[in-house]
Amino acid sequence: MALSRALFLFALIASIFSTMAVAKDFVVGDEKGWTTLFDYQTWTANKVFRLGDTLTFNYVGGKDNVVRVNGSDFKSCSVPLTAPVLTSGQDKIIITTYGRRWYISSVTDHCENGQKLFITVQPKQDGWSPVPSPSPSPSLDLVTPEAPPSNAPWPASSVPRRSLLPKKLFQIFNRD
């Protein structure tokens, strides 16, 4: 029993470190950064976003922003009153759940002029699929994905929230 627990912990730690080693930092818009009049759909076309990757939004702080929204708000360029607004100019968002992600600028006319990003986050490449988390802690990137991955930038149906932390980990450490 102790050996199987030790092997599981070793595999878990190795999995975490391998995820960290292959995670990518995507600078949104590359050298153009987060700006208007840029085709972010073309920018994402040859990229694969996975759990553990980071999105870096570079822009002039205080003059622009990044807001995570749902698919219908993305389509209409509207920002919910409760949506967190990032304003640092060097915002980093670590992708912790898979599914669809929508980001826009809430500055007047920026979204309407193309400053909006839609990505689909894939599960890890090694085939490991995340499982539901018993109680996820709040963060900007733990908003529920509205639909399973597809090519359309707005939701078609709902899917449950997913987490990086395997359910098995909770079973091991919560035994009597």
Q: What is the 3-state secondary structure (H, E, C) of 161-172?
A: CCECCCHHHHHH
Q: What is the pLDDT of residues 60-83, one digit of tens each?
A: 999 999 999 999 999 999 999 999
Question: For residues 104 and 85, what is the distance between their CA atoms, to the nearest angstrom?
Answer: 10
Do the domain assignments include residue 10? no
Mean pLDDT on 80-109: 97
Residue 159: is its pLDDT beyond 80? Answer: no
Do the domain assignments include residue 159? yes
3-state SS of the chain: helix, strand, coil percent to 5?
25, 20, 55
**Range of lowest pLDDT (141-145, 147-151, 153-157):** 141-145
What pLDDT does residue 95 have? 96
Under the banding of pLDDT at 50, 70 and 90, the label for residue 154 is: low
Range of the domain at 154: 23-173
Q: What is the number of domains present in the chain?
A: 1
- Report which listed range, 10-24, 109-123, 146-160, is most confident: 109-123
Do the domain assignments include residue 7? no
Do the domain assignments include residue 152? yes
Residue 39, CA distances (Å) to 10, 55, 128, 173 in order: 43, 16, 32, 47
Question: For residues 78 and 70, what is the distance between their CA atoms, to the nearest angstrom?
Answer: 10
Q: What is the CATH number of the domain that holds 58?
A: 2.60.40.420
Q: What pTM value is reported for the model?
A: 0.63
What pLDDT does residue 163 have? 45
Angle made by CA atoms 40, 111, 93, in degrees to the nearest 5 = 60
Do the domain assignments include residue 1? no
Mean pLDDT of the chain: 78
3-state secondary structure of 21: helix
Under the banding of pLDDT at 50, 70 and 90, the label for residue 8 is: low
